[in-house]
Structure 1
Amino acid sequence: MITCGIDWAEDHHDIALMDDSGFIIERRRITHDPNGFAELLAMVADHGGTADDVPIAIETDKNLLVVALAGAGFTVYPINPRAVARYRERHGQAGNKSDSRDAAVLADIVRTDRHQHRRLPANSEQQQAIKALARQHQEAIWAQNQTISRLRSVLLEFYPQALQAFPKLKHRAAMEVLSIAPTPTDAAKLTRPRISNALKRVGRRNDPALVTQIHSDLHAPGLRQPDAVEVALGHTVASLVAIIVAMLDAVAVLERELVTAFAEHPQADIIDSVPGLGGVLGARILAEIGDDPTRFSSPTGLRSFAGTAPVTIASGRSHYVKARKVRNRRLADACHWWAFAALTWSAPAREYYDHRRAVGDHHNAALRALANKLLGRLWWCLQHDQSWDDTAAWPRAATPAAA
């Protein structure tokens, strides 16, 4: 048997081929292009290997090389870099490190401990497209929130009246008014009709009380920066407002495409039937767990992957249980909000949450325990191609008496 380890980089990759006795039969560095990939295939073929019987270990699961390897039929094992660092210590204690050495370590991992690692899941192209959209949608929201925080910080320096008028800067009404009044001087010239017209442009209803409140807040007296500084900060506000408006439009486009792609997936009806899951949150759940039915052989694996399953630390006389830190953070975040939404949409879920709170769990711990339950039931629904049934999902109400 031949195993292959690949230490990847942006423009080249180090390859190590190892036989079943642990001997390195060939090392080579290839380029990150079709010619380099063809060279890798030739290396494997020269030693009598094929895509069906040569497992490959690499420290990533989202590289173009990984896509090419999976498309060629290889079984790819994405290995966590933290795990590779521990395996490296098994090969030597001096602390030396090189790309070719890491490739050999990766090849040795799939030679000796392949059963301890998960292969790259065989997800459909449709699911991979949903994953790309879901992750970029979330990244865009994070970037948008970061830019809004920058705008808030700038406004605190010279224009607190704007924050008084618009506590939530994410609203398009705030962006529209700040675009025509980026400084306190400009705000002092704003009239009620101009504010009303600005609100109409972003679709806000005709609300004279709201217009009066915004006008009053923006005209409130306050401390002022020197004129030159105020003008400079006004340019900054105008630039940030333009960036945020573009981000809001981009997030809306990504969300629309995400919901559309999710609705076309075969498992969308099952996930959409779950209390607390809609288009966006359901798409994020599907994006992270995938649609490969063999990826998680039991709900325990899925719960550990999401980080909802607790970790037990038992050594000597000490024994305690804590939250799992090593997890898929995107899936953990989606499960947190799923459990929070389920409190409204599912009475048994709310009852279970209240029970966890009654026995001493704080809010996040109770939501994590609820998400742990929900994930197990979702796993069953996906495995058996069944829609969610709240009565079957919660056969026993989690009341203190039942507990």
Structure 2
Amino acid sequence: MTLATTARYTAYIGIDWADRKHDFCLQVAGGDTQESGVLEHTPEAIERWATTLHKRFGGPIAVCLETTKGPLVNALLRYEFFALFPVHAATLAGYRKAFSPSGAKDDPSDARIALDLLLRHPERLQALRPQSSSMRMLTTLVEERRQVGDAIVRITNRLGSVLKLYYPQVLDWFEHRNTIIFCDFLTRWPTVMHARRARATTLQAFFHAHRCARKGLVAERIESIRSSTPLTEDPAIIRPAQLTMQTLVAQLRVLIEAIDDFDEEIAGISKEVPDYELFASLPGAGHIQAPRLLVAFGEDRDRFIDAAQVQCYAGIAPVIERSGNRCWIHWRFACSTFLRQTFVEWAGSTVTRSAWAGVFYRQQRSKGASHGVAIRALAFKWIRILYKMWKTRQPYNEATYLDALRRHGSPLVVPAG
């Protein structure tokens, strides 16, 4: 862990980044005079600015900014003489509020505040340490894949609402809507009347071509199609809904194919990261969750002091507030939603794949906890195991862990014998 206090820097810079320009405030090491300026967000301007600073101060130069990733971070990481110290937006906002109770905000003043935080509280900041190219690529891939998955959910939900206006039967004919077979069916038979006019042999050939060979299921679908009745025959409803449906299906098809491309790329990159097999050994991880869990911990084993830090960083640990005689617990807001989703979704999949996890979940529910609370509690417990596994580089073994639980008389397992 590299803190701002562990090295001497030739200059200190606070930056308030934006889309087209970045305000910065600079102070020379050992001096008390500050310089302010504006950096245009172009590769050429950043190159000139960085080169000028290096000729003037040499290195290293400490830079405090309100982000851990993005175009500016990518650009500054090219230069070895910059040491980047990211600060959370909430931290900077709180620091600003301490000196501006009115809530006034300005980009140049935010740059000065970032510089002041870097100079006065360096022990609170940790230097950004870039991971390997494979890990950084994997991080971006799993995050973008999640974005594509969320887009599929949004489109399928809207598609379902549109189909309910004029073609609700098709929603019963297909269990899953985020599939190519669903898209192809709607493209070929966009209304109930189109589907009813199709020959039974044509429908059979369609389902067989899409690897749906269960005779009972195919026959049931065909019978339902032949006996279906239009919900409405009003062209003022059908035609606009049909065009909307076709637009959504076209988008859905592209996204489904994109998911396959992402999965293929993630599978290839994951094999280049040494720790991948550690997380692939986990129950329920699979080809989707294992890379996400790997990204959550990363390669730097000095990144987290203990499991509790991981629990807080991922937003799994709740926040406790006390004031006088009052004490209350609430949801942690300042965290990565993606990481929280990663741990919660994977923990939920272990309920049926891990003996002790299933027992723990049922115990939580029997105490009155909701499904969400029980799964978050399970994720909280799992992170302790994952942290130890990650630090020691030892793959998870269910039998070994169950034996340890038995030795300690844990209520999560039935004593042997």
TM-score by length of 1: 0.90
* Percent identical residues: 25
Displacement of 1:237 in angstroms is: 1.9
The residue identity in structure 1 corresponding to 2:382 is L
Correspondence for 2:352? 344
Correspondence for 2:19? 10
Correspondence for 1:157? 165
- Contact 1:273 1:387 survives alignment (8 Å): yes
1:396 equivalent to 2:408? Answer no
Correspondence for 2:319? 311
- Contact 1:3 1:111 survives alignment (8 Å): yes
Alignment counterpart, residue 70 of structure 1, candidates 67, 71, 77: 77
Unaligned segments of structure 1, at least 5 residues: none
Correspondence for 2:341? 333
Alignment counterpart, residue 49 of structure 2, candidates 33, 40, 51: 40
Residues 375 and 66 (structure 1), Cα distance of their counterparts in 2 relative to 1, 3 Å cut: same
Map 1:1-400; keep pairs closer than 5 Å: 2-19=11-28, 23-42=32-51, 44-45=53-54, 48=57, 50-51=59-60, 54-73=61-80, 74-205=82-213, 207=215, 209-217=217-225, 219-227=227-235, 229-393=237-401, 395-397=404-406, 398-399=410-411
- Contact 2:90 2:334 survives alignment (8 Å): no
Deviations 1:250-299 (A, max 9, x none): 11111121122113210011111122222210111222332122211211
- Contact 1:305 1:327 survives alignment (8 Å): yes
- Contact 1:13 1:29 survives alignment (8 Å): yes
- Contact 2:163 2:245 survives alignment (8 Å): yes
Residues 173 and 45 (structure 1), Cα distance of their counterparts in 2 relative to 1, 3 Å cut: closer
The residue identity in structure 1 corresponding to 2:389 is C
- Tell me the distance in 2 between the aligned counterparts of 1:390 and 1:125: 32
Residues 322 and 7 (structure 1), Cα distance of their counterparts in 2 relative to 1, 3 Å cut: closer
TM-score by length of 2: 0.88
- Contact 1:263 1:279 survives alignment (8 Å): no
Displacement of 1:112 in angstroms is: 1.6
The residue identity in structure 1 corresponding to 2:38 is R
Count the aligned residue pairs: 400
Correspondence for 2:6? none
Deviations 1:20-69 (A, max 9, x none): 68945211112223332233324534663512xx3211122222221232
Displacement of 1:16 in angstroms is: 0.8
Displacement of 1:215 in angstroms is: 4.2
SS at match of 1:55: strand
RMSD: 2.5
- Tell me the distance in 2 between the aligned counterparts of 1:358 and 1:20: 60
The residue identity in structure 1 corresponding to 2:69 is K
Unaligned segments of structure 2, at least 5 residues: 1-8
- Contact 1:141 1:251 survives alignment (8 Å): yes
Q: Which moved more, 1:18-27 or 1:161-170?
A: 18-27
- Contact 2:65 2:84 survives alignment (8 Å): yes
The residue identity in structure 2 corresponding to 1:34 is P
Deviations 1:307-352 (A, max 9, x none): 2223222221122334433322111111112212222222122233
- Tell me the distance in 2 between the aligned counterparts of 1:124 and 1:366: 36
- Tell me the distance in 1 between the aligned counterparts of 2:345 and 2:147: 17
- Contact 1:272 1:282 survives alignment (8 Å): yes
- Contact 2:359 2:412 survives alignment (8 Å): no
Q: Which moved more, 1:302-311 or 1:393-402?
A: 393-402
Residues 214 and 23 (structure 1), Cα distance of their counterparts in 2 relative to 1, 3 Å cut: farther
- Tell me the distance in 2 between the aligned counterparts of 1:23 and 1:95: 27
- Contact 1:176 1:198 survives alignment (8 Å): no
